Amino acid sequence: MPGETVRAVVDDRGDALDLTARLAATAAATGVVAAAILARHGSWLLVALVPLLLAWVSYRSAVVAAIAYGEAVRVAFDLHHLDLYAALHLELPHDPQAEQKLGKRLSDRWRQGMKLDLDYRYSDKD
């Protein structure tokens, strides 16, 4: 059950990032369109500042949300990275240096499609 809690936190922070980023983009576009429409109407142009101010506040909130999301992903990985080896049927590394080496090999494989020779272990328990 702890894995579900971590997943919920990551999902919630991702949703907050998505919401604030969309709000910032929408408010910025609205402000630009409002400024273009109200440009010929004198002091009414100041109305366009409202969505632009909202865009600025939303952007600042999106930055904070992005930092929180990144922290949540990092914590989730730190807590459950050993589960990844089990899911891939790989033997657990014996020390931090071996884990770094295996992690680099896995990352290269997934990122660049490089050939990877791993010793998979299969048993009735897995």
- Whether pLDDT at 124 is above 70: no
- How does DSSP assign 20-73, residue by residue? HHHHHHHHHHHHHHHHHHHTTSGGGGGGGHHHHHHHHHHHHHHHHHHHHHHHHH
Q: Helix, strand, or coil here: 90? A: strand
> Which of the pair, 109 or 23, is modelled with greater confidence?
23
Read off the pLDDT band of 126 (50, 70, 90).
very low
Alpha carbon of 62 to those of 57, 69, 74: distances in Å?
Answer: 9, 10, 18
pLDDT tens digits along 51-101:
999 999 999 999 999 999 999 999 998 888 888 888 888 888 889 998 898
The whole-number pLDDT of residue 85 equals 84
The token pair at 15 is 């949703």
